[in-house]
Amino acid sequence: MNIWHRRAAFSGRWLGLSLYVVFALFPLYWLLKIAITPTKLLYSEGVRLWPSAFTLSHFQQVWTTTQFPDYFWNSAKVAVGAAGLATLAGALAGYALSRWVFRGKAVVSFLLLVTQMFTVMLMIVPLNHILNGVGLNDSLFGLAVVYAALNVPFATFLMQSFVDAIPKDLEEAAMIDGCTRFQAMVKVVFPLTLPGVAATAGFAFTAAWSELFLALVLINRESDKTIPPALLSFITKFSVDWGQMAAASVLLLIPVCVFFMFVQRYLVAGLTSGAVKG
């Protein structure tokens, strides 16, 4: 009886995992299927798991007949800049909240937490006024700063959990050997938090790369658009170019997949080690 129970439990786990994988990957498969299906077959074949013919013309048209390369480069600059700023600010703030005791520390942590309660739509008007005031409206740098600012609270708490897991004895030993507090932080603590840095940068990069609403509202110049709002250009008043939109969406996914492929080891280690202390 125990053997049957174990087999049933094993089969149930694999069935649940298989259903989850299908549920998660099927939309991506369908997106790729539309991207490689000739336009005339999209409407004539109906719903099929695999097209009778395939083409790469949608990818070629997106890359050569539209401004997609410019949008791609704009998204890369904004996402990398936002991830770098958010990770740097989160690492420094997380270290301060973990290692230092100062007046108002609890208030700072509370305020960082409170910022996560507000949606982007509530902040769009004050953000627009602030950017206009400092001359960063309608600019990619201003958009990157906004993305970084919105990710700093999460990055701070995540990096704080990693710094908490590092014994203070290591820093004290480094300072006894002649290091300053800053040198101990840079040479001892931060190298040990590389998994946390990778996890923080990964989340900040993904959030900035795929964000639509702020990019749509804060960027008005066509030459400075990022990919998510640019996808809307495939929707016209009377038609939708599903093939090119799907091809552009596939190209949008590639950098994120490549990025996570390189940092996967650090990301998994970061998410697991940062969850516990000691």
Q: How much is the pLDDT for 269?
A: 58
Residues 209 and 75 sit within 8 Å (Cβ to Cβ): yes
Q: How much is the pLDDT for 276?
A: 47
Q: What are phi and psi of 7, to 5 degrees?
A: -65, -40
Q: How much is the pLDDT for 152?
A: 92
Q: How much is the pLDDT for 277?
A: 47
Q: Which mean pLDDT values do the consecutive 10-residue runs of the chain (278 residues) have?
A: 71 85 87 87 76 85 88 93 94 90 86 84 87 88 93 90 86 85 86 85 90 90 89 82 88 84 66 50
- For the chain, list the domains and their CATH numbers: 1-54 (no CATH), 67-275 (1.10.3720.10)
